[in-house]
């Protein structure tokens, strides 16, 4: 059984990522650390608990983490995810709350305690992980692989230069990229190649049951943003691509390259600077995603939702 931690900011695509981790019978989800990002921390924690409730998995411990970036003011994304951070479906109130321990304390304690390095999937701003590594950089050796949704080789989405997760906390992101962890970057270059269109979403809805219905409602809601922004009747499912990359690495096409994060730019703040041709002479530190097998991704998502169709609380 492989052990994994998810660090996230639900968010519609984070919710799908949670479901895809729960659906994998070979993965043990040790806990979910939550960060402010798509919405404020109180809302991203509440959303995490709501998704776990629908999935019948309120046994998974949830830890509230950083309510703001390490060195900046918080930027949120209500324009994508709505005021709740998970607008669209009518979701139940969770019967449980988050654990008492702060996520940064739990992450540090858990990584220290595990005998074998474990996997970490990060699908929000990297404030929690940045703080853990600032506190004790040796904890990097307890992470077998970090798969993060964030960054881009080409265009950004929150500015022309920067992708949202990195843009919100560039200092944390640079701390993570330079920590010496085996890292896979699932950026926008990848996630925009795995779009789900209206027909795909309705096929997922047709699986039936509370979880597929919630997933379809979430995807339909966030498609509205993609239609406004990109003129496409569908949506990228950014964070779910990171989970697919963890579970089925062959789904991703990557190159081992140097990635650093701009923290002092005016137009380029939060940009992942990918050294495509090694011109900096800096040691490559990241498996950078360039492409994804969309059919394999969609098939995995469909199989996962079918597996979860019967579960609910
Ligand atoms: O840029 C997309 C990323 O920012 C996704 O993780 C989304 O959930 C938001 O956090
Ligand atoms: Ca996210």
pLDDT for 30-80, tens place per residue?
A: 999 999 999 999 999 999 999 999 999 999 999 999 999 999 999 999 999
Q: Which of 15-24, 177-186, 226-235 has the lowest mean pLDDT?
A: 226-235
| 279 Cα to the center of ligand 2, angstroms | 31
For the CA of 191, the closest atom of ligand 1 is: 2
Q: Check residue 312 and give its pLDDT.
A: 62
Structure confidence at residue 99 as a pLDDT band (50, 70, 90): very high
Q: Is 239 in the pocket of ligand 1 (CB under 6 A)?
A: yes
Contacts of 292 (CB under 8 A, 6+ apart): 190, 191, 193, 194, 241, 244, 245, 251, 252, 253
> Is pLDDT of 19 > 70?
yes
**Average of per-residue pLDDT across 230-241:** 96
Distance CA 212, CA 202 (A): 10
> Is pLDDT of 110 > 70?
yes
Structure tokens at 214: 């919630």
| 239 Cα to the center of ligand 1, angstroms | 7
> Is pLDDT of 313 > 60?
no
**DSSP SS3 for 293:** coil
For the CA of 38, the closest atom of ligand 1 is: 10
The predicted-structure confidence for 69-90, as pLDDT tens digits, reads as follows 999 999 999 999 999 999 999 9
Q: Check residue 310 and give its pLDDT.
A: 78
Q: Is 189 in the pocket of ligand 1 (CB under 6 A)?
A: no
Candidates 9, 13, 8; CA nearest to 222 is 13
Ligand nearest to the CA of 38: 1
**Average of per-residue pLDDT across 252-261:** 98
Residue 282: how many other CB atoms lie within 10 Å:
13
| 10 Cα to the center of ligand 2, angstroms | 6
Q: Check residue 222 and give its pLDDT.
A: 97
The predicted-structure confidence for 164-182, as pLDDT tens digits, reads as follows 999 999 999 999 999 999 9
Q: Is 39 in the pocket of ligand 1 (CB under 6 A)?
A: no
Structure confidence at residue 259 as a pLDDT band (50, 70, 90): very high
What stretch of H or E contains 6? Answer: strand 2-8
Structure tokens at 60: 């998974």
DSSP 294: H
Distance CA 133, CA 112 (A): 12
Candidates 284, 282, 258, 293; CA nearest to 272 is 258
For the CA of 14, the closest atom of ligand 1 is: 8
> Is pLDDT of 126 > 80?
yes
The predicted-structure confidence for 201-218, as pLDDT tens digits, reads as follows 999 999 999 999 999 999
Q: Is 238 in the pocket of ligand 1 (CB under 6 A)?
A: yes
pTM for this model (two decimals):
0.98
- Looking at the chain, the whole-number percentage of residues with pLDDT higher than 90 is 99
Contacts of 270 (CB under 8 A, 6+ apart): 156, 158, 159, 161, 162, 163, 166, 167, 168, 170, 173, 261, 262, 263
Q: Is 183 in the pocket of ligand 1 (CB under 6 A)?
A: no
Which of 165, 190, 270 to mutate to test ligand 1, by most ligand atoms within 8 A of the CB atom?
A: 165
DSSP 257: E
The set of catalytic residues is 238
What mean pLDDT, rounded, does the chain reach?
Answer: 97
| Backbone phi and psi for residue 136, each to the nearest 5 degrees, phi listed first | -155, 95
**Average of per-residue pLDDT across 118-144:** 98
Q: Is 127 in the pocket of ligand 1 (CB under 6 A)?
A: no
């Amino acid at each position: 059984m492989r052990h994994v931690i998810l660090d996230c900011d639900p968010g519609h695509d984070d919710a799908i990522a949670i479901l895809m981790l729960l659906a994998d019978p070979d993965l043990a989800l040790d806990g979910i650390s939550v960060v402010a990002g798509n919405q404020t921390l109180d809302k991203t924690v509440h959303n995490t608990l709501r998704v776990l409730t629908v999935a019948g998995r309120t046994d998974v411990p949830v830890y509230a983490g950083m309510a703001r970036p390490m060195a900046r003011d918080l930027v949120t994304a209500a324009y994508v995810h709505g005021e709740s951070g998970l607008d669209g479906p009518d979701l139940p109130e969770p019967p449980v709350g988050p654990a008492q321990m702060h996520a940064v304390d739990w992450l540090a304690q858990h990584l220290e305690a595990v005998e074998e390095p474990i996997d970490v999937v990060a699908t929000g701003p990297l404030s929690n992980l940045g703080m853990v590594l600032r506190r004790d950089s040796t904890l990097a050796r307890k992470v077998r692989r970090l798969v993060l949704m964030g960054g881009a080789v080409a265009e950004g989405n929150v500015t022309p230069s920067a992708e949202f997760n990195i843009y919100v906390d560039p200092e944390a992101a640079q701390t993570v990229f330079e920590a010496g962890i085996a890292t896979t970057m699932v950026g926008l270059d990848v996630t925009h190649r795995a779009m789900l269109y209206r027909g795909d979403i309705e096929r997922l809805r047709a699986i039936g049951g509370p979880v597929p219905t919630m997933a379809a409602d979430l995807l339909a809601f966030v498609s509205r943003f993609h239609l406004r922004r990109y003129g496409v009747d569908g949506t990228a499912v950014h964070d779910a691509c990171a989970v697919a990359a963890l579970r089925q690495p062959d789904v991703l096409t990557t190159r081992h390259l140097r990635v650093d994060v701009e923290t002092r730019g005016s137009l380029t703040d939060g940009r992942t600077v990918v050294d495509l041709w090694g011109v900096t002479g800096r040691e490559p530190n990241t498996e950078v995603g360039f492409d994804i097998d969309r059919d394999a991704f969609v098939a995995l998502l469909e199989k996962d939702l079918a597996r979860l169709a019967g579960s609910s609380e």
